Structure 1
Amino acid sequence: MNNTFVDLNNCNIEPIRIPGQIQSHGFLIVIDQNQIIRFYSENIHNYLKLPGVALLGQPISSIEPIIGKNEPPNFINQLIVFGRINGFDQTNPFQTDIQGQAFHLIVSQSEEYFLLEFEPSHSDLRLDIQKMVGRSISEMLADKNLQNLLNNTAQQIKSIINYDRVMIYKFAEDGHGEVVAEARNTDLAPWLGLHYPASDIPQQARELYKVNLTRIIADVHAEPSKILGEELDSEKSLDLSSSQLRAVSPIHIQYLKNMGVCSSFSISLIYHKELWGLIACHNYSPRFINYKSRESAKLIGQILSSALEFRQDEENQSTYERYKAAVSELSRNMLQSMSIEDALTISDITLMDVADVTGAVLVYENNITKLGVTPDTERLSNLISWINETVKEPIYYTQELSKLYPEATAYKQMASGMFVYTISKELSEYVIWFKPEQLQTIQWAGNPEKPAEVDVRDGLLTISPRKSFENWAETVVGTSTSWSNSEIKSILRLKGEITYAINQKASEIRMLNEKLKQAYEELDTFSFTISHDLKNPLTTIKSYSQILMRDKSMSPESLKILDRINASSDKMDQMIREVLEYSRIGKSALTKVPIDIQTLVEEQVRDLSVAYEACDLETTIGETPVLQGDPVMISQVFSNLLSNAIKYSRRSNPAKISIHGSITDTEIVYSITDNGIGIDIKQLPTVFELFKRMDNAKDIEGTGVGLAIVKRIVEKHQGKVWVDSELDRGSTFYLAFRR
């Protein structure tokens, strides 16, 4: 017997992108860039009457008369040329005739190959789905309530495709899913509200749902057809990620069989480029929906995705504005009050208003101030000691405190969720927020702790998904609601305001400034070392490399190495100059004059667009109130921020940046927004640190000094700078100067 250990974790490494076979309701031909047949599905002879010759290595033109007898010569090449220019969604499906039967030809690309997939154009649907879509969409969107929207969608899709069960399935943060809406035949048991373990749809399968927005499994009992090809035995396998006919994982097929499902159809729901959930349709007898009908159904999914995004963003924006107003009020209070502690805890707006919490604690200047519902003083003291020993990051949050700190079990009802912002690690000063335990009973479709069974067949261990889908209840304890992105951003903004207020009020007496003074002295020494000990040898390295490059006897490989030495020398020289500039800012005297920001920004955008070859850049310049400041330094601030905005949005299509200024009672605030790659929320606290580069920007040129220079210049002007950003959604940098 094979003793190999198997469980549903095998799903995460199962090669579902390269299954080596397709579903048998259609057939596949794969050609290379030269139109030569490299792979084909074994069932091709069930559909085509081919001459008794080998297909591999033959040009596709040799069988074009068979797969499209009424088509013009070379029609497949014409489809590929058109599709590569305009997108294959403009050519798919191509209606053709094979042996007197109507077929859809669907073309897609897989690395250096082109997939030619042939599916019957007939469908088990009796209705013209395209004609029904418009009416169904209007009925879907009739209600603004999110749950009603989901319910309407499930009902409308069931009425269109007439599957036995239609579910809307939403993914949670941990990957498990929940049925949040359902339309079903009356003889079927309801699945609404049931949860399914993450292993039911593993991560790699969820990634493929973002590539193909619809997925049909016509008959779980049909035998798949193997793909034949000379290269299948090599290390490089045929990637079927974009294929419509891609065979189904045997584990998933068994899973559907265990549920009694014969056919399934899914439509992906996308929220900000991530998989929000699925419209999952089950039928208890085989069903086939042709490509055109699937595309019409995909349109419904895309419209629902847009509606979900709009409703969720609308809700998020409302929450964001509420938190933003609270932080702004606390900022004003701190600047106007003699006591930061009072400003944060005894006004109408307090620390409790920057997030949805039930308790908050300010540990500041040897005092512990409690707001709302919190643990008692003794327990708080013990918790603070644990935080001081354990928490290393500037911000730290959890929704399961008692799992990390068992003593918190005694007060989990009031403090299962905890968020810590460290004001000063050395002085043990913190702001702590608490969320209460959120008791919930989750109804699982089967026991999630036993997601699979292992059968022994023919002497081998075989994975078998669970067979029992009976309702299994689990009560979750010791867990709060999660900390949302809006709450994290709100607290990060407050963090900046508290730091600014502390520096303004107590800059000469706090330990932080002593450390800053020491750091500045060390930086001066470091700058001197760079000037005298690094620049000269660097110049020597560059000079010698340039001399060697003139030697005509050097091999191309050697010249390439010398060229890299030269480029690295230039990069290091740039870093040295920027660090020296960072050091000089602290010593330079300010010469404040009125600065015309409009002209400054227009000139810099024009010059930077040329430098980064951003010809299609869309720039919006709003109000630009005059600033009082050092013209050279302020120019450097805008240059760095605009340079970053253009540089990191070049991959967007189109790249967009906007610059807006506004005037409040006490400040002039500028914002610079781009639609670029964005910043991970976990890296926002360190974005202005020296030499700090974000993980997603490693392949983009930069030294990690520019934003540190911006921060130092702005603080020298007694201003403040902060950022609001999310991955793949762009960034907004804010500058605030006193009036």
Structure 2
Amino acid sequence: MNSFGPSPDQVDLSNCDREPIHQLGRIQSFGYLLAISMDWIIQHVSANIADILGRRPDELLGLPLNQVLPLATMHTVRGKLQLLAPNAGSERLFGSELFGDGRRFDAAIHISSTSIVIEFEEAREETFGNGNPGAVIKAMMARIERSTTSDAVFNECVRQLRAVTGFDRVMLYRFNDSGSGAVVAEALNRDIEPFLGLNYPATDIPRQARQLYLRNRVRIISDVDSTDVDIVPPTGPTGEPLDLSLSVTRAVSPIHVEYLKNMGVSASFSISIVIDDRLWGLFALHHYHPRHLSMEMRSTMELFGQVISLVIEGRLSKEMRRVEEEARDLHDRVVGRLVATSPTMEELIDFADDFRELIHCDGFAIWAKDVVRTVGRCPFPDDMPGLTRFLNRASASRVYASDDLSSVYPKAHDFMDRAAGLLAIPISRSPRDYLIFFRKEIVETVTWAGRPDEKPVEFGPNGPRLTPRKSFEAWQETVRGKSRPWLSSELKAAEALRVSILEVLLRFNEEAERQQTLATQRQELLIAELNHRVRNILSLMRALVVQSRVSAKSIDDFSAIIGGRIQALARAHDQITDDKYQAQSLRSIIQTEIEAYVGHKVTRVHLDGPPVLVEAKTFSTLALVFHEMVTNSAKYGALSDSLGHVDVEWRVDDNECCEIRWRESGGPAVQPPTRRGFGTTIIERSIPHDLGGEVTIDYHLAGVRGRFLLPPRTFWLAPEGGEAAHPRNEEGKPLRTDKSAGAAQSRLAGKRALIVEDNMIISLDAEQMLVDSGAAHVLTAMSVSEARRIIESETIDVALLDVNLGGETSFPLAPLLEKARIPYVFVTGYGEKLELPQDVGTDVEAIKKPFATDQLIAALERALDRRGA
């Protein structure tokens, strides 16, 4: 090889793309050409023009066109030009007497830059059956439209084209995204080799050739061995050659002529299939002898190409719509489940089966917060951090897909046996989280029409180029490292899924923030109420101690009075918090609050009204309201001294509402409050807000007046005598007074008891209650382990177990006590119903703190009786 010449190694496939095939400066031998300026002066002619006009090219150049064409033809040409726009195709004349001498020509007129180009060729008689080109197209389309599938449409198209044109071979060649293509339908003579299913590389039809197929939808090569005709002069005054992109007689690239000769083809004709302004495919017609189609036939086939492009586009769109509708239905079901459950990113793995049904894959992974979760055939977890860093380089808001991952991410070679293709859906921005679909490698055998890489290098006017291959025998190539490609419908489904997941996660985050805000507000309200209640309770306890001292005659009497009133307060609290309560007497609600908080002053409160029962959901609201009314009266109103009294009356009015009147009198002078506290808010707002009723509070100098209106749905009238007049215990029996506690001493006399309680003061209090009731010996424990040791080493007759022992519960002691047949009672500080474990006996009781002596002794007595102790 000459060391000064270019090396074949320096030649690539783009050399073919640089050939100016639209400016070759020649036309085919069956045609003639005149190019004129916009003011009708001849600029270019074909070298064979003398065969038609009898005048040499140099005699015509520079002449006005009206010296060559008759006025009638000039008029016709002007009319055709009126329909044209620059670079917008050509207008045709068929069988026209262009020169007014009886000879008939077919002509094509188009505008090229600043020139008007007129091409003409001798008119030929074409066999159209009934002589009507339109009828031919109609008959062809009638047969094609009977086809039910796209493949059937393709096959019928090539059959019809071969029947009408008479070419030896008619192929439908479809392009793929890479520019290469395959023969998807074929009709041919019996004695020639089929090309159906063969693939052709993108370099067989260079880029500029594809552009010409878009602009000029049909192209004829009548005879590859004919000598082309030069354009005279080859360039214009500015040195530019005439652009023949829209020419119907344009000569063919020598490279393409060589390609056809290597295939043994003598004549060819092509019809472009354009869908969405893209070259979707070609009808390629080959003949093994010279063959020419008239301009009228070529124009008819151009119309066929435009119609069939619409038909194929419609069929493809229909199939795409069907696929998209199925995907949309799947998408809606998946998103519906997502919305219903509002999962976190980590929980999306639970929807793997739904996602895999929507986008078919061999493996699925979720990368969230730098942790991977996989289902199916995926790369190993150690491979995922590097892969996600590669994905991070892609756009944050785009679906990324590749069916040849190792070609863009070399490390994918390490797991190519598990995943060769990837589709990634980003579902966050920072840090990047992904849904990733993997497809396994598909080892594919591609059959090419000859080896695509067997192209010798030659040197021409445009530098070194790859010449067309000379062999078109089927050659098979094994393609590895690729997966099944991702379809456009799958990419659309992935994008829709990305948007929906982001919406779901956004909604989830918004809902989480809303719930957190509500929880914060509830917590703040709870803290405020708790603070208010605790302060009231502390104030109440102090008042109970001070007021009880006046009537107490001894220490024991003082202790009994204090204990009884504290227990009354606990009963009222239980009524408010117990979620198992039934309808309650309005009188009982008010009476309970009065007895709990004013003690010996209860006789100064007068209650009067019919037997009204209030709904369970209404009770807690009324209990809170009258608790505030009673405590306010005890602190500031009629019950705060020794003279005042309170009248509470209720009735059912004409609107079937329950009207409650609260009237204080005889107490100290009343002043309206200078600030609105939490208690005032409860009084004024609880009934309107929770029950839909009304509240009016007036601060008269002589005493507070209150009016409370309950709507009909919150209460009903009970039969006479049907309401409970006094609070009752959990068994429905009247609560015993402390004076009856001594009766229980004989039941515990001589018994050995165990108290498990982590609070020392409560433990000592309970121990004293048991000792006072006759227990012979009381043992105490503060933990489960300590209690277990006592049970295993001591004789125990009965046990009292506090449920909550700080960091543990006393439930583990239950099986041990059950095995030893030791009766026991639970004690709990929780207001709601206590849920006991399954291994605890069904007859075991649980009493609530704070408990009175009689309540505790009665519960222990019942436990002893049930176990036959």
- State whether TM-score is above 0.5: yes
* Residue 343 of structure 2 corresponds to residue 339 of structure 1: yes
- Equivalent residue, structure 2, for 1:681: none
Is the contact between residue 112 and residue 243 of structure 2 (CA under 8 Å) also seen in structure 1?
yes
Which residue among 444, 454, 458 is the counterpart of 2:457? 454
User: Cα distance 1:93–1:437, how it changes in 2: closer, same or farther (>3 A)?
Assistant: farther
Structure 2 counterparts to residues 133-152 of structure 1, below 5 A: 133-152=137-156
Q: Distance in 2 between matches of 1:80 and 1:133?
A: 26
Matches within 5 A, 1:560-579: none
Q: CA deviation at 1:426?
A: 3.8
Q: Which residue of 1 aligns with 2:123?
A: 121
Q: Does structure 1 residue 416 correspond to structure 2 residue 420? A: yes
Q: Secondary structure at the match of 2:192?
A: coil
- Partner Cα separation in structure 2 for residue 318 and residue 428 of structure 1: 33
Alignment partner of 1:496 is 2:486: no
Contact 2:180 2:202 in 1 (8 A): yes
> Which stretch shows the higher mean deviation, 361-370 or 195-204?
361-370
Once the two structures are TM-superposed, the CA of residue 280 in structure 1 deviates from its matched residue by 0.3
Q: What's 1:623 paired with?
A: none
Q: How does 1:541-690 map to 2 (within 5 A)?
A: none
SS of the residue 1:332 aligns to: helix
Distance 1:325 1:240, change over 3 A: same
The corresponding residue for 2:65 is 60
| Deviation of 1:509 (Å) | 9.2
Q: TM-score, normalised by structure 2?
A: 0.54
In 2, the alpha carbon distance for the partners of 1:444 and 1:73 equals 52
| Superposed displacement of residue 282, structure 1 | 0.5
| Cα displacement (A) at 1:420 | 1.7
Please name the residue that 2:472 is paired with.
469
The Cα shift of 1:53 comes to 6.3
Whole-Å Cα distance in 1 between the matches of residues 406 and 57 of structure 2? 71
CA distance in structure 2 between the partners assigned to 1:88 and 1:474 by the alignment:
41
Distance change in 2, residues 1:436/1:349 (3 Å)? closer
State the partner residue of 1:487.
Answer: 490
Matched residue SS, 2:273:
strand
1:20 aligned to 2:22?
Answer: no
C-alpha distance after superposition, 1:384-425 (max 9, x if no partner):
45545x545443221111233344335435421111223345
Q: 2:828 maps to what in 1?
A: none
- C-alpha distance in structure 2 between counterparts of 1:347 and 1:147, whole Å: 36
CA contact (8 A) 1:352 1:371 kept: no
Equivalent position SS for 1:383: helix
Alignment map for 1:202-601 (pairs within 5 Å): 202-229=206-233, 231-232=235-236, 234-341=238-345, 344-347=348-351, 350-365=354-369, 367-381=371-385, 383-384=387-388, 386-388=390-392, 390-391=393-394, 393-395=396-398, 396-424=400-428, 426-450=430-454, 452-455=455-458, 464-506=467-509
The one-letter amino acid of 1:55's match is L
* Partner secondary structure for residue 236 of structure 1: coil
The aligned amino acid for 1:493 is A
Q: Which runs of 5+ in 1 are unaligned?
A: 511-739
Shift of 1:266: 0.5
User: Post-superposition shift, 1:483?
Assistant: 2.4
One-letter identity of the residue aligned with 1:108: H
Q: Structure 2 vs 1, CA of residues 456 and 336 (structure 1 numbering), >3 Å: closer, same or farther?
A: closer
8 Å Cα contact 2:47/2:57 also seen in 1? no
Question: Which whole-Å deviations, capped at 9, do the CAs of 1:119-141 have from their partners, x for residues lacking one?
Answer: 12115768557243322222222
Per the alignment, in what secondary structure is the counterpart of residue 225 of structure 2? coil
Change (3 A) 1:79 1:429: closer
Task: Check the 8 A contact 1:108/1:115 in 2, yes or no.
Answer: yes
The equivalent of 2:694 in structure 1 is: none
TM-score by length of 1: 0.63
Q: Which structure has the higher relative contact order (CA within 8 Å, separation 6+)? A: 1
| Structure 2 residue aligned with 1:29 | 34
Residue identity opposite 1:262 in structure 2: S
1:348 to 1:441, Cα distance in 2 relative to 1, 3 A? closer
Q: Deviations over 1:480-502 (max 9, x none)?
A: 23223322222222222222222
State the AA in 1 paired with 2:356: M
Q: Match for 1:237: what amino acid?
A: P
How has the CA–CA distance of structure 1 residues 3 and 96 changed in structure 2, closer, same or farther, with 3 Å as cutoff?
Answer: farther
Amino acid at match of 1:249: S
Query: Which structure's CA Rg is the greater one?
Result: 2
Question: Where does residue 107 of structure 1 map in the other structure?
Answer: 109
Residues 375 and 81 of structure 1: is their aligned pair in 2 closer, same or farther, counting only changes over 3 Å?
A: closer
Matched position secondary structure for 2:482 = coil
Q: Percent identity?
A: 31
**What residue number does 1:47 align with?**
52
Shift of 1:462: 7.3
Question: In structure 1, the residue corresponding to 2:244 is in which secondary structure?
Answer: coil
User: Match for 1:107: what amino acid?
Assistant: I
Q: Is the 8 A contact 2:444 2:478 kept in 1?
A: yes
Q: Deviations over 1:240-278 (max 9, x none)?
A: 111101111111111111111111001111122211110
Aligned partners of 1:37 and 1:55 also within 8 Å: yes
Q: What's 1:80 paired with?
A: 81
C-alpha displacement of 1:90: 6.0
The one-letter code of the counterpart of 1:34 is D
Q: 1:286 to 1:371 in 2, by over 3 A?
A: same
Q: How far 1:35 sits from its partner (Å)?
A: 0.9
CA offset digits 1:299-339 (Å, max 9, x no partner)? 22222212211111111112222222333333333332142
**C-alpha distance in 2, partners of 1:457/1:303?**
40
> Distance between the aligned counterparts of 1:155 and 1:113, measured in 2?
40
Equivalent position of 2:164 in the other structure: 160
- Contact 2:452–2:469 (CA under 8 A) maintained in structure 1: no
Q: Give the Cα separation in 1 of the matches to 2:326 and 2:352.
A: 14
Gap change, CA 1:148 and 1:352, over 3 Å in 2: same
Task: Give the distance between the partners of 2:192 and 2:41, measured in 1 at CA.
Answer: 50
Greater CA deviation, 474-483 or 379-388?
379-388
Cα 1:234–1:112 change in 2 (3 A) is closer
Q: Which position in structure 2 is the counterpart of 1:175?
A: 179
| Partner amino acid, structure 2, of 1:465 | P
One-letter amino acid of the structure 1 residue matched with residue 456 of structure 2: E
Letter in 2 for 1:358: D
Q: Name the amino acid aligned to 2:77.
A: I
User: Shift in Å at residue 8 of structure 1?
Assistant: 4.6
When residues 11 and 92 of structure 1 are mapped into structure 2, their CA distance, relative to the original with a 3 A threshold, is farther
Q: Deviations over 1:590-609 (max 9, x none)?
A: xxxxxxxxxxxxxxxxxxxx
Q: CA deviation at 1:428?
A: 4.4
Q: 1:690-726 deviations in whole A, cap 9, x for unaligned?
A: xxxxxxxxxxxxxxxxxxxxxxxxxxxxxxxxxxxxx
Aligned-partner residue type, residue 474 of structure 1:
E
Supply the distance in 1 between the matched residues of 2:292 and 2:320 (Cα, whole angstroms).
40
Deviation per residue, 1:31-63 (Å, 9 max, x gap): 111111111111111222127962122110001
CA contact (8 A) 1:123 1:289 kept: no
Opposite residue 110 of structure 1, the aligned amino acid is: S
Residue aligning to 2:202: 198
Distance 1:132 1:335, change over 3 A: closer
How many residue pairs get aligned? The number is: 502
* Alpha-carbon shift at residue 165 of structure 1 (Å): 0.8
Distance 1:228 1:30 in 2: 10
Return the letter of the residue paired with 1:118.
Answer: F
Residue 151 of structure 2 aligns with an amino acid whose one-letter code is: Q
Q: Give 1:33's aligned amino acid.
A: M
Q: Distance in 2 between matches of 1:102 and 1:288?
A: 17
Counterpart Cα distance in 1 of 2:176 and 2:241: 33
